[in-house]
Amino acid sequence: MDCQPWRRRVTSRKPVQIEYPCRWLYKVITTDGRGDQQRIQAMLRGSDCRISLSSQSRTGKYVSLDVEIEVRDEAHRNTVYLLLQEMATVKMVL
């Protein structure tokens, strides 16, 4: 009997099929929310991009931004991810 049903093994993983173009949401964890909002907007200018404050840490040190953009294909999606990740004040991109 399985006492921990949430620990079931996954025996096969099917690759996720994403239909492009599509809207993609990136969660950006940063230490400069207001400044990064402006930098991201400038970096993605010409794109249909929405940036909004998602949450803030209890101490205010970290801010979470939602960055939603229309991506053309997987290469474009990965490029935007890398651009966001390379920003100096960004700690994590999900």
**What tens digit of pLDDT does each residue of 59-94 get?**
989 999 999 999 999 999 999 999 999 999 999 999
Quote the radius of gyration of the chain (alpha carbons, Å).
Answer: 17
Any domain includes 13: no
Any domain includes 15: no
Any domain includes 26: yes
C-alpha to C-alpha distance for 78 and 86, rounded to whole angstroms: 12
Any domain includes 25: yes
pLDDT, tens digit, for every residue of 13-68? 788 889 999 999 999 999 998 899 999 999 999 888 999 999 999 998 999 999 99
Supply the CATH number for residue 83's domain. 3.30.70.260
**Average pLDDT across the chain, whole number:** 89
Query: How many domains is the chain partitioned into structurally?
Result: 1
C-alpha to C-alpha distance for 61 and 81, rounded to whole angstroms: 22
Sheet (strand 90-93) strand order? 49-56, 63-71, 22-30, 90-93
Any domain includes 76: yes
Domain hosting 85: range is 20-93
